[in-house]
Amino acid sequence: MDNPGDEAVEAPPQVDETASGRKHADTGTLGKAIAVLDIVASADQPMRFTDILAVSNQPRGTLHRQLSNLVEEGLLSLGRDHSYSVGIRLLKFAARAWAGNQFRAIAEPHLRNLHDLTGETVHLGVLRGNEVIYLDKVESRQAVRMYSQIGNASPVYCTGVGKAGLSALPDPELKAVVASIKFHRFTDSTLATPEELIREIGEIRASGNAYDREEHEPGIRCVAAPIYSEDRGFVGGLSVTGPAYRISPELLESWAVLVRNAAGAIMEDMGARLGPRT
């Protein structure tokens, strides 16, 4: 746990004070916890203890207890450098809410069209930290299907949607995410080092497609493409996935342009329907 006496970084993260915890300061323990979540989630980068203390309007001891509890519950994550960021459990809650949001409604017809063209399972996911959270899925028409579930999280470095999302990040953010990954070999094909992953991200940026070549689960392949908002505040991906015995590398490659086109159509609709209004 972070030391309350740690010094603040030289350039503390900027926080939108309209979303900060000050408006919750007198609403009890739950309100104070929500205030801390607001502060961390609204920051433009992970925050250290003294950064949060400066804008929280909470006593040092109270804030330290709030942070400890939120980390223990998985709502916040404590980094190696003692900075706080949004935790996976909170992201999973958010993913379930996103399942019914406007973005999903925008993407859904494009997912179904891609499913009609390929006959295989189509996934939509969003990048959060070093995991990808699945927001939507259109199941394969085939008798043998893969198991996956909306709201589940998977590692970014060995999934098509995850690597596609990474390819859309600016280099400083990409390096920070890669540095946070604890690489684990799920199969013989799993990328096992930061150098391998960075090299593949370069290839994805050049081609516009990411692949999972049985890297997360034996016998499962996919081709993906990135989806992102204009300001890169939203980054995710779209994929077509299926069993290796049914999907050859050549067939997967032939679907690459279909996946790119679907991702591009979703981004175009996002810009038209979710973009700034004058």
The CA distance from 72 to 62, in Å, is 15
Q: What single DSSP character describes residue 147?
A: -
The pLDDT of residue 94 is 66
Query: CA 81 → CA 53, 67, 77, 125, distances in Å?
Result: 17, 15, 11, 28
Q: What single DSSP character describes residue 234?
A: S
Q: Is 1 helix (H, G, I), strand (E, B) or coil?
A: coil
DSSP string, 110-143: HHHHHHHHH-SEEEEEEEETTEEEEEEEE--SSS
CA 37 to chain CA mean position, Å = 18
Q: What is the pTM of this model?
A: 0.64
User: Which residue stretches of the chain are H helix?
Assistant: 28-42, 49-56, 60-72, 88-98, 102-118, 160-167, 171-180, 194-207, 249-254, 256-274
Q: Over its length of 278 residues, how does the chain's per-residue pLDDT go in tens digits?
A: 444 333 333 444 444 443 333 344 445 778 888 888 888 887 878 889 988 988 888 888 888 888 988 888 888 888 888 889 888 777 667 666 654 467 778 888 999 999 999 999 999 998 888 888 888 878 776 644 454 556 677 899 999 999 999 999 999 999 999 999 999 999 999 999 999 999 999 999 999 999 999 999 999 999 999 998 887 777 889 999 999 999 999 999 999 999 999 999 999 988 776 554 44
Q: Is the dihedral of CA 107, 109, 113, 115 positive or negative?
A: positive
Structure tokens at 236: 């995710």
CATH of the domain spanning 92-274? 3.30.450.40
The CA distance from 230 to 227, in Å, is 10
The pLDDT of residue 275 is 55
From the options 1.10.10.10, 3.40.228.10, 3.50.50.60, 3.40.50.300, give the CATH code of 17-85: 1.10.10.10
CATH topology match: 17-85 vs 92-274: no
| Per-domain residue ranges of the chain | 17-85, 92-274
What value, to the nearest 5°, has the Cα angle with vertex 179 and ends 174 and 185?
Answer: 105
Reference 208, options 230, 197, 223, 193; nearest CA is 223
Reference 131, options 74, 172, 187; nearest CA is 74
